[in-house]
Structure 1
Amino acid sequence: MELYFGRDTTMNHERRLYAPEAYAAREPRQIVRDYPFALLFTNGADGPLATSVPIYFETDDPAETRLIGHMARKNPHAQALQTGDRALAVFAGPHAYISAGWYRERPTVPTWDYVTAHVRGTLEPFDDDATQLQLLERVTDMVEQDRDPAWTMAQAPEGKVDALLPHIRSFRIEIDSIEGVTKLSQTHPAGDRARVIDALETRGQFGDREIAALMRANERSGEPS
């Protein structure tokens, strides 16, 4: 897994995600790839709408500028989607509470370490079966890529996919910006970082060990300053 620090240089845009320079993701696209179960926001007639859905880059092109996903058609959010809607997809990675007691060389207050990416763009929904099937096949390929042999849409029970298509609504997002944050205590002294890693591994709550693993990887790569 790649680690991310610095500024995204894949697109020219004004930063809108709050990310102090020390925590700004160098490779926010990798966060999107690593944590694809995203929270999609759009504006509806009565205010913001949000749905948690898997969202993937449409192709494996490192410079791909489109994301794809789908949701249940019965979802009011799906029914409200319109071509040209502005969309924000939030890809949340691991997170962990950091006790102030772990920072001894440079005492401070408690904080939270976390990984996240925000993608903004213009949305286009799809209702035709051919496009929806194409997007579903791409998503299936992505989620099955670590299985051997991988399951494919062609293995679905006869008629199941045709019966499914009317009950989902697919979408594509043309990307305007990708920004990310990897806040991993990297502004703290090496001794404090080591204590944070040990404490997270010992506590072992949700996200603790993954944040600790990311921090250890950064230590090996020499990223923290």
Structure 2
Amino acid sequence: MRQNPSFTLADVDEIRRVIDAHPWATIMSAGEGGLVASHYAVLLDEGRDDLTIVGHVGRPDDLLHGMGERELLVVFQGPHGYVSPGWYGDVPAVPTWNYTAVHLAGVPEILDAEENLRVLDRLVARFESRMPDPRLMWERPNDAAFVERLAAGTVGFRLVPTRVVAKRKLSQNKPPETIETVIAALDAEGPYSNPALAAEMRRAQDARRGGAQ
């Protein structure tokens, strides 16, 4: 991802927020047969306060990625969307796309069966707990044999990233009044209405005003 000082996202807490809010990740590697990409939900490692992540892949994705032997690139995509040049006013302009993205790279550690089960349990709890009547991993009608049989078809991993590239391209190169106009347009009804992106732009705008990175 091409980096630009104006759009660099360097605050670890903010990067963690993006990962936590958008856990559906793309996992990429350069395999023996060429580039490989897989898609899985990934979580921050609850025992750390850095950018370490945990997750799993289904077999045979572990072999396709050379899991534990080769570098992985894990990509998280935050709110994103189209920005019309008409929102900039009567000035020369072209369309663009605003977005937030985080890239983590490194060679993952393979989890043993017990820790993999704990990560799978966390994944289920993270998403299922929002349901009115949650069906957690170890609850009936599931039994231990069923859970362990399914878990055996997965390979858990922990990635302590050795390279991090995070970017928040949210019109920071525009005057404050233009940014406010874009936020209002994204919040309004229309073909490119995008409240999630408007909220992300508002967060970045407020952080700049407060002197945060």
Same topology, TM > 0.5: yes
1:133-154 per-residue CA deviation (whole Å, 9 max, x = no partner) reads 1221233344356568865432
1:19 is matched with which residue? 3
1:85 is matched with which residue? 70
Match for 1:52 among 31, 34, 39?
Answer: 39
Contact 2:186 2:192 survives alignment (8 Å): no
Contact 1:29 1:178 survives alignment (8 Å): no
Task: Determine helix, strand or coil for the equivalent of 2:188.
Answer: helix
Instruction: Tell me, yes or no, if structure 1 residue 218 matches structure 2 residue 185.
Output: no
Distance in 2 (CA, whole Å) between partners of 1:206 and 1:106 is 20
**More displaced 10-residue stretch of structure 1: 202-211 or 167-176:** 202-211
2:160 is matched with which residue? 174
| Counterparts in 2 of 1:220 and 1:58: CA distance versus 1, 3 Å | closer
Distance in 2 (CA, whole Å) between partners of 1:117 and 1:23 is 12
**TM-score for both structures, normalised by structure 2:** 0.82
Contact 2:109 2:159 survives alignment (8 Å): yes
**More displaced 10-residue stretch of structure 1: 38-47 or 201-210:** 201-210
Contact 1:95 1:207 survives alignment (8 Å): no
1:97 is matched with which residue? 82
Contact 1:106 1:188 survives alignment (8 Å): no
Contact 2:23 2:43 survives alignment (8 Å): yes
Distance in 2 (CA, whole Å) between partners of 1:30 and 1:24 is 15
| Counterparts in 2 of 1:26 and 1:203: CA distance versus 1, 3 Å | farther
Write the letter of the residue equivalent to 1:29: R
Q: What aligned pairs does 1:191-202 form with structure 2 within 5 A after superposition?
A: 191-202=177-188
Task: Determine helix, strand or coil for the equivalent of 1:179.
Answer: strand
Contact 1:97 1:111 survives alignment (8 Å): yes
Write the letter of the residue equivalent to 1:26: A
Q: CA deviation at 1:37?
A: 0.8
Contact 1:39 1:51 survives alignment (8 Å): yes
2:54 is matched with which residue? 68
Match for 1:35 among 1, 22, 25?
Answer: 22
For structure 1, the 5+ residue unaligned runs are 1-16
| Counterparts in 2 of 1:207 and 1:69: CA distance versus 1, 3 Å | farther
Distance in 2 (CA, whole Å) between partners of 1:67 and 1:207 is 32
| Counterparts in 2 of 1:68 and 1:122: CA distance versus 1, 3 Å | same
- Once superposed, what is the RMSD of the aligned Cα atoms? 2.7
Distance in 1 (CA, whole Å) between partners of 2:58 and 2:154 is 4
Q: CA deviation at 1:204?
A: 5.4
